[in-house]
Amino acid sequence: MKPSERFPGIASGRVMIAAALAAALAVPPAMTVAMWADQERVVPAESGSPYPGKWRNALTPFGVEPMECLSPSHPCSDVVMMCSAQVIKSEVGVNFVGHTIDVDPSGMLIALPSIDEAHKFVKLKLQPAIDATPALRFKVKEAKSRDETGSTASFKRFRGGFVQITHTGSSKGLQGITVKKIWGDEISEYPHDVGNRGDPIDQMRQRASTFALLGAKALWTSTPKNKGTCRITALYEASDQRRYYWPCPHCGAFFVFRFEHLKWDSEKPPHGAHVIAPCCGCQIEHWQKREMLAKGVWLKTFPAADDTDVVPGDVVEADQVMAFRARLSQGRQPGFHLWRGQSPFADWNGIVAEWLAAKDSTAKLKTFTQQVLGEAFEEAGEAPDHLKLFARREERDSGKVPEGVLAITGWADVQRQPPRIEYAVYGWGLSLTAWLIEKDVILGDPYDEEVWAKFAEVTTRLYPDEWGRSWPIEAFGVDSGYASHAVYNFVRRRPNLYATDGRKGATHPLVGTPKKVDVNYHGRTVRAGAILWPIGGHPLKSALYAALQKTIDGPDKMTGLWPAGCIRFPMDCDEAFFQQITAEYLKTVETRDGFTRQEWQRRPGQANEQLDIWCGNRAMAYILGLDRYTPAKWAVRILAHAAPEQGGADDLFASAERVRGRDGEPTAPATEPRNQPSQVVRRRVVRSRYMEG
């Protein structure tokens, strides 16, 4: 009698062994990065996400396709994400790492621009994600100081692979390892050369060259920087340039949502922000965003490869979407662009508020363009037409403070040939509108004490306003490029004078960190006797040309108001003056290592003193803190410049209304600022400081 007949409840060993072998040999179902994130990823609360807990692709549907492209089943080798700040690019990268650890174990290299950024990434992004996600927490080996087989803060070890986190400030972390996967984050901040070994991106690619034909993947993410030199923009333009199209809830057509489609009812909160659909002109409210996001699609918008290739426009009819979805990439790698207005976590009213705060300032507009719009900022590099500026001169007396000026600065250029000190004094108002008050030249050798004595009289000069009051220069800068120690000696005992040193290159800030310098004058050395202020020529010149363009635009034809942030010139400025102030242009040049950079170049034979002098004055305005003024501080300055008969709260802001007639919308508050001294006390303080004489 067979055992199966004697014991009918016992399973067949042959069947069990066959079933076990079949299960072991079966090809597991392919799990993409997006599928893994939806099933396994847990978002920790310390990550700063507004939705901690289980990851849900439905919250950010535009992140699914980039993650699908990062999956082993997708044929691409590179994925590019050019996005504004705080959208999804970092989380896509963390999901890429998680999928590698849990599903596709292999070597991985992650590089950030600096060691601080690398430490911050591990502490706030990667390690919390590993600790919060069970599928990762039990696979990544613990960090143990005496165990060489364990993990460290910058090296995560797991069965079948590792993750090396490094930075591009040194080439050491980019050498000596072989990996299958790469993630370069914030690549627009990378230097062009690391450790004299070349471009860090090329170095990273070499680490994965062994797997070039075996499924190597590279993710490149960043917010953009400036046009012409931006790494992520160059990679995106070389990609298939995917844009996220929304379906219009009114007509059903799909469109790319751009900032210019965003409209608002009021420039004061609440703004009533909404979208005017480019397809049908209907109004779309903010509460409809999530529904449009859920039904959105990515379409490839790269330029046509040939006559048969059709590029989708900003508006695509619903019945054409599938045809454009099937468009071939023509050998290009996937590239994705997102801006903050498309994020489900961003409020349109908040974006409008940021735009209103930034539109009159070149520096703030750069931040808005890069961080909110996710686009490279195009600096004002073309020299404005000097004849158009010449035509914008206005009838007013030089040497007098025009109405609207709230602060006065000066800056001097020390020249060798012919020997002289050339200077100009500017007034600054709301939105940093500027007025040229005075310009002149002191002839003589800058090493001659008599020349400095004449210049000392200029720096202490008082300028009358239309009510007969006198106002001092609050900050006066002197260029130290020539006769440096004579400049140091002159400024070192004068509290409102600043020795400055111009710095070339786009990486320098408008005003850098000052440092102490020795003064060696007439054989006498004073250790750390003066303070030298570095000023960035690149951003200052960009700000100048942006302001000059507003001057060319001139007053509004309907209201007669000048654009906020323009520069206004008196009639005694001749054509040569405007040729000097527009003497340079921004040129993109190729470096020896094959990269491009933008640098300012002067037209041959053209003097540029007035250009430098305005930039120096703008730096002085920054040193005074005018860029960072609160409405309450502006209100105090408005009070100081109000007509003598004015003094009450109503009169104070009536003065602001007069200033608006010259400068545009005032930034002063509509009510008395809280926690501020009374108007009587403020008036005494302001008058004692500014109304000498």
Phi, psi of 88 (to 5 degrees): -155, -5
88 with 222, same domain: the answer is: yes
Write down the pTM of the prediction: 0.71
Domain boundary among 238, 254, 278: 238
Q: What is the pLDDT of residues 348-361, one digit of tens each?
A: 999 999 999 888 88
Q: Are strands 434-443 and 567-568 parallel, antiparallel or unpaired?
A: parallel
AA letter at 676: Q
- Interval 581-605 mean pLDDT: 79
Closest CA to 187 of 335, 82, 77, 76: 82
Give the C-alpha separation, 239 to 513, whole Å.
Answer: 39
pLDDT tier for residue 677 given thresholds of 50, 70 and 90? very low
Q: What is the pLDDT of residue 663?
A: 38
The pLDDT of 396-400, averaged and rounded, is: 91
Residue 591: what pLDDT? 63
* Whether 82 contacts 222, CB under 8 Å: yes
307 belongs to a structural domain: yes
Confidence check: pLDDT of 665 > 70 = no
Q: Is the pLDDT of residue 342 over 80?
A: yes
Residues 637 and 620 in one domain: no
pLDDT score for 429: 93
Contact present, 274 and 263 (Cβ < 8 Å): yes
Kindly tell me if the per-residue pLDDT of 211 is higher than 80: yes
What percentage of the chain reaches a pLDDT higher than 70? Answer: 87
What is the pLDDT at residue 660? 41
Structural element, H or E, at residue 167: strand 161-167
Residue that is written with structure tokens 């499924």 in the block: 215
Per-residue pLDDT at 560: 87
pLDDT band (50, 70, 90) for residue 586: confident
Residues 175 and 290 in one domain: no
Torsion of CA 112, 117, 118, 121, to 10 degrees: -110
**Listed range (18-22, 45-49, 396-400, 422-426) with the worst mean pLDDT:** 18-22
* Residue 663 is assigned to a structural domain of this protein: yes
Contact of 620 with 475, CB cutoff 8 Å: yes
**Domain check: are 426 and 444 in the same one?**
yes
Q: Same structural domain for residues 652 and 662?
A: yes
**Residue 436 in domain:** yes
Which pLDDT tens digit goes with each residue over 470-505? 999 999 999 999 999 999 999 998 989 999 999 987
CATH number at residue 133: 3.40.50.300
Query: For tokens 């809280």, what's the residue?
Result: 674
**How far is Cα 210 from Cα 366, in angstroms, rounded to an integer?**
40
**Secondary structure (DSSP) of 361-424:** -HHHHHHIIIIIS---B----SPP-HHHHHTT-B---TTSB-TT--EEEEEEEEETTTTEEEEE
- Cα–Cα distance, 418 to 264 (Å, whole number): 56
CB atoms under 10 Å from CB of 12, counted, come to 11
In a domain, 380, yes or no: no
pLDDT at 556: 87
What DSSP state is assigned to residue 441?
A: E
Tell me the chain's radius of gyration from C-alpha atoms: 31
Q: How far is CA 659 from the centre of its chain?
A: 30
Cα dihedral 372, 536, 623, 461, rounded to 10, equals -140
Mark whether 618 and 677 lie in a shared domain.
no
| pLDDT on residue 47 | 74
Please compute the mean of the pLDDT values over residues 250-271 and round it to a whole number. Answer: 94
Q: What is the band of 509 on the pLDDT scale with cuts at 50, 70, 90?
A: confident
C-alpha distances in angstroms, 405 versus 424, 434, 473, 487, 672? 15, 8, 12, 28, 22
What's the pLDDT score for residue 648?
Answer: 41
Are 590 and 680 found together in one domain? no
pLDDT confidence of residue 594: 60
Residue 196: left if φ>0, alpha if ψ -120 to 50, beta else—which one? left
Integer Cα distance of 61 and 298 in angstroms: 10
DSSP 69-136: HTSTTS--SEEEEEE-TTSSHHHHHHHHHHHHHHTS--EEEEEESSHHHHHHHIIIIIHHHHHH-HHH
CATH of the domain at 413: 3.30.420
Q: 177 is written with which tokens?
A: 């390892």
On whether the CB atoms of residues 315 and 255 are closer than 8 A, the answer is yes
C-alpha 186: how far from chain center: 12
User: Among candidates 244, 222, 243, which has minimal Cα distance to 232?
Assistant: 222
% of the chain beyond a pLDDT of 90? 64
Residue with the bigger pLDDT between 685 and 117: it is: 117
pLDDT at 651 over 90: no
Q: How many domains does the chain divide into?
A: 4
- Scored b (16 or more CB within 10 A) or e, 175-190 reads eeeebbbbbbbbbbbb
- pLDDT for residue 20 is more than 80: no
Q: Which pLDDT score is estimated for 10?
A: 63
Quick one: average pLDDT of 108-116?
A: 94
What is the tens place of the pLDDT at every residue in 513-558?
999 999 988 778 888 889 999 999 988 998 999 999 999 999 988 8
pLDDT of amino acid 381: 67
479 closest CA partner among 501, 461, 464: 501
Residue 464, pLDDT > 90, answer: yes
175 or 255, which is more confident: 255
Q: Is residue 211 part of a domain?
A: yes
Matching residue, tokens 């105090």: 636
In a domain? residue 425: yes
Last residue of a domain, one of 601, 627, 653: 627
Q: What local confidence, expressed as pLDDT, does residue 2 receive?
A: 60
* 264 and 398 inside one domain: no
Q: Decide: 247 and 254 in contact? Cβ < 8 Å.
A: yes
Who's near 669: CB < 8 A, 6+ residues apart? 631, 632, 635
- Give me the pLDDT at residue 426, please: 98
Identify whether residues 188 and 102 lie together within a single domain: yes
**Are residues 620 and 675 both part of a single domain?**
no
Do 528 and 664 fall within a single domain?
Answer: no
Residue among 260, 221, 205 at smallest CA distance from 121: 221
Least confidently predicted of 207-221, 564-578, 632-646? 632-646
pLDDT digits (tens, 9 = 90+) for 418-437: 999 999 999 999 989 999 99
Structure tokens, 486: 């004579």
Kindly tell me the sign of the dihedral angle through the C-alpha atoms of 246, 81, 216, 123.
negative
Neighbouring residues of 174: CB distance < 8 A, sequence distance ≥ 6: 109, 111, 166, 168, 194, 195, 197, 200, 203, 204, 207
Domain assignment present for residue 639? The answer is yes
- Of 163, 177, 182, 39, the residue nearest 101 (C-alpha): 163
Write the DSSP string, 173-209.
GGSS---SEEEEESGGG--S-STTS--HHHHHHHHTG
Average pLDDT over the chain reads 86
Q: Tokens 């460290």, residue?
A: 152
Rounded to whole angstroms, how far apart are CA atoms 157 and 140? Answer: 6
Q: Do 288 and 146 share a structural domain? A: no
**Which residue, of 297, 332, 367, is where some domain finishes?**
332
Residue 553 burial (CB count, 10 A): 13
Decide if 426 contacts 433 (C-beta within 8 A). Answer: no
Q: What share of the chain is helix, strand, coil (3-state, %, to 5)?
A: 35, 25, 40
The answer to whether residue 28 is domain-embedded is no
Whole-number pLDDT of residue 664: 38
Domain of 474, in residue numbers: 386-627
| CA gap 100, 108 in Å, rounded | 8
Q: Taking residues 121-138, report their average pLDDT.
A: 93
